[in-house]
Structure 1
Amino acid sequence: MIFIFIILNTNIYAANIKNSATVFMYHKFDKPKYPSTNIRLEQFLQHMEELSQTKYNVKSLEYIVDSIINDIEMPNNTIGISVDDADRSFLEVAWPILKEKGFPVTLFVTTGYISNNSKNYLNWDEIRQLKKEGVTIGAHSHLHAHLSTMSLDEIKSEIETSNKIFLNEINEIPSLFAYPFGETDEKMFNLLEDYKYKVAFGQHSGVINETSNYYYLPRFSLNEKYGDIERFKFAANAKGLGVYDFVPKNPNIIENPPFIGFSLLDQKLANKINCFLFDSDGEVEKEVYKFNERIEIRLNRKLKKGRSRLNCTVKDNQWRWFGIQFYINN
């Protein structure tokens, strides 16, 4: 086996990160028929009660994004809340609780779901009312398709169709985007920047910091299985890992198995870091090589078709978490 290591210039970075923010993602509320995307009411109430403690600072996603982009220091334990798809249960179950707590939230809307007048989703009158009450509206494509499998022209059509509907229905085009299924590729990063989106969010675990890819920001996805209060507390208190110069740059994997590598702002963390990669067949065995602040990971087999996730954690005086999702079309 031949190993190729990529060593990059690291002199421009400081000793550690300045900002961290944990963003949580929900889909459905108190709809046990859909356990993979649902959060039970008792779980959600536990989450909101935890975030009501004074040690947390629940902020809007716009505040978090603008602070990161403009290098403005955020308070400790900054938390963001997001909801994908505009399921009706957001209005009926979650929003009254969030509103009572005074917690800002971003609702990522799939315009095609709303335009089809499905009884399972909100309608535009309800979305306009939510916006008036303080809910931020984000974009989540038009058809909720697997964007990484589409051509550039097809993706442009998705974005432009969605943008026209937003402009007609709420008099503005959102500045925040969330990828359906958390799937994306490098051409999407550039395209969303061209369409003037500030940032885009995936569905992979991890904590946002100033070295994060603005067009592939992490969120902790919460459902019945992964919504227990201890995991929630762990994520809410975690900090960014300060990962930069990550390869592969394209999360839509072409060369399989991929060469994976990254550098750490704080070199002292390198010796203590643990990384785990899972695909549909379970954990992928690997070799990890450490060169000062540089970490190189070599997989012992190819990744399976579909989504796979890399998570790296380390503890200094607190837990730090970096994650990314890969996707393989074939």
Structure 2
Amino acid sequence: MKKWKYLTMTAVMGSALMLGACGSDNSGNNAETNSAANSGQEADDKKLQGSVAGDGSSTVAPIIEAVVEEYAGAQPDVKVSVGVSGTGGGFEKFIAGETDFANASRYIKDEEKAKLDEAGIAYTELALANDGLSVVVNPENDWAKDLTVEQLKQIWTEDGKVKKWSDLDPSWPAEEIIFYSPGTDSGTYDYFDEVILDGADLVSAATLSEDDNMLVQGVAGDKNAIGFFGFAYYLENKDKLNIVKINGVEPTHDTIETGDYLPLSRPLFTYVKNDSIKDNEAAYDFLKYTLENAGDMAEAVGYVRLPDEQYAEGLTTLEGLK
């Protein structure tokens, strides 16, 4: 997120230059000096101390990492720690009371809701951005450019057989398909299972990982590989991957925003613990900062921002939890 660092540095340098110019003006009076000192004191008073903890989706991680990086400049005395154990793993820690928020690339499940209720943890869902789950193949794969949902289901569903590209089209290579998939704790895994596999078992030959970068490396290193993960990870690595159209539609900023990229367009969330917002000023401030900047950060890392009114609604909801 270097470009965000540069923006922050530019703002700081601009402020320093402005203050230097004011300091060189010998005509300033004591009232102006006192006013500047008071303003500086007010700014210091707004500085917070404390800690905030989150965990969850690797898909959401690029957004949150960008937010954390910028927030450190705004509130350097607030320690924000964010793990990436997948949506399911993040909810497990959230249910156990270990975190203030859980990042998710899917909606919370009924069983997770029940466990939170049993634990006495009230929570609130906040939308951050939209994503297009992206199916990718190796750059040497010049045949699987466009797959239907039915073809995806055919090759990714476990049926006890060795899967070959020629199973989809006899003109394609009679070579075994190598599969790379997010792990079972991933919300991306759950979403793919729901909209593509209809709850059937994922092919057992797949290599599973909660680390999307490992999936990227796997697909990039094998001519017969196929994998899937969040759109931002494809954009970051598009020089070593080929994107696959689904039902004739390629995931792009526009097709994700319009909803034309179906059924693999999806919202991304963070779930916040209500008591953390009420009792921990640092947690409230960080989540407020997150919603205020999520749209810009989402666009910067490759996702699609929500309508401004949706972020405004989220901020109103968050304020109501205090």
Normalised to the residue count of structure 1, the TM-score between the two structures is 0.25
Of Structure 1 and Structure 2, the greater helix share is in: 2
Q: Which has the higher contact order (CA 8 A, sep 6+)?
A: 2
Which one has a bigger Cα radius of gyration? 2
